[in-house]
């Protein structure tokens, strides 16, 4: 009886290891992709701007997701000037839809028509009544890296 129990336990362990192999491979792959945009302790991310064509020009904007930062939702990064950037959550403060890319200085929400200012995320048009959540960022021109604090 004890032998049979041991056999079953070993079989379950082996079966479990076999079932986990694809998950393990996916996990290892996700680790390797994270090394391209390292996440530092304390909730900061460094983005190498040479890898982001949308941000080469003043006025450029791009959405990016950084793992579980911002609840796993994308952030909107806008280049306001040569060395000035702003980073907002893309989650609309009205009912949670994802806002669009900026147009003519305004960040539109496709769901109910709210609009937010690209400069500081304040509401320009409702129904939203609160500004977009903003994350602190710091540009290092020597390295062409934008450091975002979550």
* 92 near ligand FES, rule: CB under 6 A: yes
Contact call for residues 44 and 149 (beta carbons, < 8 A): yes
Q: Which of residues 111, 117, 124, 145 is near ligand FES by CB under 6 A?
A: 111
* 114 near ligand FES, rule: CB under 6 A: yes
* 97 near ligand FES, rule: CB under 6 A: yes
101 closest CA partner among 123, 75, 127: 75
Contact call for residues 77 and 47 (beta carbons, < 8 A): yes
Contact call for residues 98 and 91 (beta carbons, < 8 A): yes
Q: Parallel, antiparallel, or unpaired: how do β-strands 123-125 and 44-48 relate?
A: unpaired
For the chain, give percent helix, strand, coil, nearest 5. Answer: 30, 30, 40
* 118 near ligand FES, rule: CB under 6 A: no
- Report 24-83 residues binding ligand FES (CB under 6 A): none
The span of 1-9, 29-37, 64-72, 89-97 binding ligand FES (CB under 6 A) equals: 89-97
Nearer to ligand FES, 95 or 136 (CB): 95
Residues in contact with ligand FES by CB under 6 A are 92, 94-97, 109, 111-114, 127-128
């Amino acid at each position: 009886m004890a032998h049979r129990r041991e056999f079953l336990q070993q079989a379950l362990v082996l079966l479990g290891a076999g079932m986990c192999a694809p998950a393990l491979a996916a996990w290892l792959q996700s680790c390797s992709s994270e090394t391209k945009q390292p996440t530092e302790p304390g909730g900061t991310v460094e983005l190498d701007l040479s890898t982001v064509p949308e941000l080469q020009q003043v006025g450029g904007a791009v959405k990016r997701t950084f793992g579980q930062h911002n609840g796993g939702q994308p952030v909107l990064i806008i280049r306001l000037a040569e060395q000035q950037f702003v980073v907002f959550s893309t989650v609309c403060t009205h009912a949670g839809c994802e806002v669009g890319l900026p147009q003519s200085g305004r960040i539109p929400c496709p769901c109910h028509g709210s609009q937010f200012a690209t400069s500081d995320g304040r509401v320009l048009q409702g129904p939203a009544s609160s500004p977009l959540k903003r994350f602190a960022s710091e540009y290092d021109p020597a390295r062409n890296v934008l450091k975002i604090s979550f």
